[in-house]
Amino acid sequence: MSETPKIKYKIVHDRPGCIGCSACVVVAEKYWEMKEDSKSSIKHEKMQHVGEEEHLEHDEDYELNLEAAQTCPVNVIHIEKDGKREL
Ligand code: SF4
């Protein structure tokens, strides 16, 4: 049995630019939800609001959230790892 290694990373959601397409929710429903203003939000108890952005520092499901970021048509989901922006 191999365990998925933990990878420390940060999701940055530049929420004002979200066009509400729901793609991130379809890809990673565990972490993303649609809100009443028709924009998505990070769905996690440790999510922090930083200005109009949403940030989540996490160490699980890196690949899943990377996929959500890659799926976003307007590139408002960013993934940072080791202090560097991956996407
Ligand atoms: S994929 Fe991007 S534009 Fe679409 S709802 Fe998610 S954050 Fe917003």
- pLDDT tens for residues 26-61? 999 999 999 999 999 999 999 999 999 999 999 999
- Top-tier CATH class for 9-85: alpha beta
> How is the chain split into domains, by residue range?
9-85
Verify whether ligand 1 is closer than 6 Å to residue 24 (CB atom): yes
| Two structure tokens written together for 64 | 């899943």
43 alpha carbon – ligand 1 mean position (Å):
13
| Contact by Cβ (8 Å): 46, 57 | yes
Q: What is the pLDDT of residue 5?
A: 74
Token pair 């160490």 in the structure block, residue: 59
Verify whether ligand 1 is closer than 6 Å to residue 26 (CB atom): no
* Percent residues over pLDDT 70 in the chain: 95
* Residue with CA closest to ligand 1 atom 1: 72
> pTM of the predicted model, to two decimals?
0.94
